[in-house]
């Protein structure tokens, strides 16, 4: 697997298009292209998993404030979901967070996304609470599960 830092060098139209295609394919309610672009600039940082032609199979984005990071986005193209790429991206991101001095990581995830909740639990995240009706859903709203992990 080839990882690369995710940052402002991904703001060129061609590279941003590659990331946005991953985002659109991976999420039922994807971020806008503009939101994704704004998340490639400080205080955000992340990792992208590359293939030989420079395309992206997935990425993760974090925001750091002092010694806390929040996982803002983690996505993998649907054809490769369930193959361990999400885990590899998240583990790489958490390593980077520790190297940046982070002591805690927070995230929120759709309550109905059992695969993601399971991954986070396997990697040591615990459920801290829920935000009722936080995410848009097909038949109304869906809860967000709030999770955290100490990184030391």
Q: Tell me how far apart the alpha carbons of residues 143 and 135 are, in angstroms, rounded to a whole number.
A: 6
Task: Give me the percent of the chain exceeding a pLDDT of 70.
Answer: 99
Q: What percent of the chain has pLDDT over 90?
A: 81
For helices 114-122 and 85-99, the axis angle rounded to 10 degrees is 50
Q: What is the pLDDT of residues 25-67, one digit of tens each?
A: 999 899 999 999 999 999 999 999 887 677 799 999 999 999 9
**pLDDT given at position 55:** 79
Cα distance between residue 77 and residue 26, in whole Å: 5
Per-residue pLDDT at 52: 65
What residue has token string 């994704």?
36
**65: number of Cβ within 10 Å:** 9
Helix ranges (H only) for 58-103 are 85-99
Domain residue ranges in the chain: 2-150
The whole model's pTM is what? 0.93
Q: Report the catalytic residues.
A: 108, 120
How does the average pLDDT of the chain come out, rounded? Answer: 93
pLDDT digits (tens, 9 = 90+) for 86-111: 999 999 999 999 999 999 999 999 99
- The answer on whether 73 is annotated among ligand-binding residues is no
> Residue 7 — φ and ψ, nearest 5°?
-165, -155
pLDDT-derived band at 138, boundaries 50, 70, 90: confident
Quickly state the pLDDT bin for 126 (edges 50, 70, 90).
Answer: very high
Q: What is the dihedral of CA 90, 95, 101, 106, to 10 degrees?
A: 20
CATH class of 2-150: alpha beta
């Amino acid at each position: 697997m080839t990882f690369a830092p995710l940052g402002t060098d991904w703001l060129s139209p061609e590279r941003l298009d590659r990331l946005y295609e991953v985002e659109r394919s991976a999420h039922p309610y994807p971020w806008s292209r503009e939101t994704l672009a704004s998340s490639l600039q400080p205080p955000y940082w992340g990792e992208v998993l590359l293939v030989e032609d420079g395309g992206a199979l997935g990425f993760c984005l974090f925001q750091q404030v002092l010694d806390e990071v929040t996982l803002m986005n983690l996505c993998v193209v649907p054809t490769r979901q369930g193959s361990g790429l999400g885990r590899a991206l998240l583990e790489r991101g958490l390593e980077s967070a520790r190297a940046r001095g982070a002591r805690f990581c927070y995230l929120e995830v759709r309550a109905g996304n059992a695969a993601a909740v399971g991954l986070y639990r396997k990697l040591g995240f615990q459920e801290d609470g829920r935000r009722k009706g936080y995410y848009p859903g097909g038949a109304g709203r869906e809860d967000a599960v709030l999770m955290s992990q100490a990184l030391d």
